[in-house]
A and B are shown apart, each in its own frame.
Chain A
Amino acid sequence: MARLGRVAKQPLVAMSLAVLAGIVVVAVFASWLAPQGISAHEADLTNRWQHPSWGHPFGTDGRGVDVLSRVIYGARISLLIGLSASAVTVVIALAVGLAAGYWGGWVDMLLMRIIDVVLAFPSLLLAIILAAVFRQGLLSVFLALALVNWAEAARLVRAVVLSLKEREFVQGALALGAKHLRVIFRHILPNAASTVIILFTMRIGGMILAEASLNFLGLGAGPGSASWGEMVNEGRDSLDLYWWLSLFPASAIALTVLSLNLLGDALRDALDPRLRLQG
């Protein structure tokens, strides 16, 4: 814990933490913080495509909806997808990596081949196909991202488990007749915890980027929604006229992911320097 405290004192990390805390607050209290509603019936067609001004700091979009308000609501979607998809990814990776690394043999063989196949797909294209299978909507984006991105992490977990399995305390527990599940939960998992925490933190940013990319390609929450990627997509055909439509949501994505990556990197350096080159 003391190491984590030291990490938080680094200026860049402290800044990232502050930014992330701010984004979480904005997401949770979006309905109070947003200057205007963002649903279709609150659109004001007489107020379309307003330049950024005091009244609308980020301007308004093609339906007359305040862009700042949409960006504020968008924090919800990005965080929701980022956190939930990373959590599921890490759980899958943990299950697969543990099984492969701990049991070895044909289980390992089979799981590693599956991982090879998943990694042979370009992840974005596989996510697009999966999003098509699950039809439009946030849930489909979440499922697509969670099912695509676990393979690399599973490989890493497997490597950690393989090295832990050979350590004396695990061998000792096994020699004393401890059951496999006990060895896994009492001896291996706690020692793999730092890897899992790092993996989780490092994934969130990637998931937010992937969600934005899917929405940018028109797969996801759908037109008019407050997804940052969707907002960038809506503005991209009129960049020269209405640059604020794309610029602000894109900057929100970049700022969020940048903070997450800085934090993840610092965590990794503090908790597990061996992982440094695998980001």
Chain B
Amino acid sequence: MSAYLVKRLVIAVPTVFAVLVITFLLMHAAPGSPVDTLLGDRQATPEERARLEREAGLDRPLAVQFFAYLGHFARGDLGQIFGTRRSIASELRVRLPNTLTLALAAVLLATLLGVTTGVVSAVKRNSLADAVFRLLTFFCISAPVFWFGLMLIVVFALRLGWLPAAGSDTWAHLVLPALTLGLRPAAFIARVTRSTMLDVLGENYILTARAKGLPERIVVLKHALRNVALPVVTVIAGDLGHLMGGTVITETVFGFVGLGAFAVEAILNRWYSAIMAVAMLWGVIFVAVNLAVDVLYVLLDPRVRLTKEEA
């Protein structure tokens, strides 16, 4: 197992490196620079501009700039946002936990909603509940994330006044964003749960369990439901990129102080060092989650473990 994980890590390194290189090159290819952002509409003399560019390190060759980032990262130095006194590390220290909490809450909510509706849909196949859930599923996949956000704000914050519409300070601030972010994955989870349960409920061991006279509740929840774990993990892992994109939108809608909104701010302002830091962080998260999913597979599916031990 550990040898396998190490191998996966080694393969992941070039991928993360490529992500960093592409991010770096694309950002430099985009018109504008941190110096332009700092100057804004102000006319600067060529000397002043050259001085600022030297200060930002933009006068050096691209390769030197790129490896300078890597060198700084290796020493744990993320630098500052150019032209401000804001330290990137302290920005991320606040934003990363917020976004992780938001994403985790969304995934938990999605799993809860998705598995529940999926099981009901499968057990009561072709009933009214099944039809309603399936239509809702389609709707959750089709409506834009920001639409959910705006609707939830109108209903629960503006009309009913139950929950805050913006901010990221307390648990109450987490409810609407997590729901906004979680509805799409919930729909995918509901789908995969329904189809897995329908497959499983036709299996012989389910027939055996019923023949033993076990109550239907036990058959469904104990014998059938455990088969859902693996496909659900696969769906969540496969949707990770979308989830990250979803945090960008969700954080923007709710004025939530998180990584996604920061990434957009950094891209639009051409804060090169901040973008590189976010890309690096994302690469690490991406690799870590994929490894975690691999481990989960082994834990959830005894067949995977057996073949691993034999090998």
A residues lining the B interface (CB < 8 Å): 113, 116-117, 119-125, 128-130, 132-133, 135, 205, 209, 212-213, 216-218, 229, 232, 236, 239-240, 243, 246, 250-251, 253-254, 257-258, 260-262, 265, 276-277, 279
**In the complex, which residues 185-203 of chain B have their Cβ closer than 8 Å to any Cβ of chain A?**
191-192, 195
B residues lining the A interface (CB < 8 Å): 14-16, 18-19, 22-23, 26-27, 29-31, 138-139, 141-147, 150, 153-154, 158, 191-192, 195, 231, 241-242, 244-246, 248-249, 252-253, 263-264, 267-268, 282-283, 286
Q: Is the CB of B268 within 8 A of A132?
A: yes
Q: Is the CB of A212 within 8 A of B144?
A: yes
**B159 → chain A closest CB, angstroms:** 9
Q: Which residues of B contact A213 (CB under 8 A)?
A: 144-146, 245, 249
Q: How far is the CA of A217 from the CA of B31 in the complex (A)?
A: 18
Q: Is the CB of B249 within 8 A of A217?
A: yes
The winner among B144, B241, B248, B268 for most chain A CB atoms within 10 A is B144
By secondary structure, the B interface counts as: helix
Q: Which residues of B contact A265 (CB under 8 A)?
A: 138
Q: Is the CB of A243 within 8 A of B248?
A: no
Q: Is the CB of B268 within 8 A of A250?
A: no
Q: Assuming A120-B283, A122-B245, A125-B263, is B154 touching A254 (CB within 8 A)?
A: no
Q: Which residues of A contact B268 (CB under 8 A)?
A: 132, 218
Q: Assuming A124-B248, A243-B154, A276-B195, is B19 touching A253 (CB within 8 A)?
A: no
Q: Which residues of B contact A253 (CB under 8 A)?
A: 143-144, 147
Q: How far is the CA of A240 from the CA of B18 in the complex (A)?
A: 45
Q: How far is the CA of A121 from the CA of B26 in the complex (A)?
A: 13
**B157 → chain A closest CB, angstroms:** 9
Residue pairs across A and B with Cβ atoms less than 8 A apart, 7 shown, are: A120-B16, A121-B19, A129-B26, A205-B142, A213-B249, A240-B158, A258-B139
Q: Is the CB of B253 within 8 A of A254?
A: no
Q: Is the CB of A254 within 8 A of B142?
A: yes
Given contacts A122-B248, A213-B249, A250-B146, 7 further A-B contacts (CB under 8 A): A124-B242, A129-B26, A239-B154, A240-B154, A260-B142, A261-B138, A277-B231
Q: Which residues of A contact B141 (CB under 8 A)?
A: 261
**B165 → chain A closest CB, angstroms:** 9
**A246 → chain B closest CB, angstroms:** 6
**A233 → chain B closest CB, angstroms:** 8
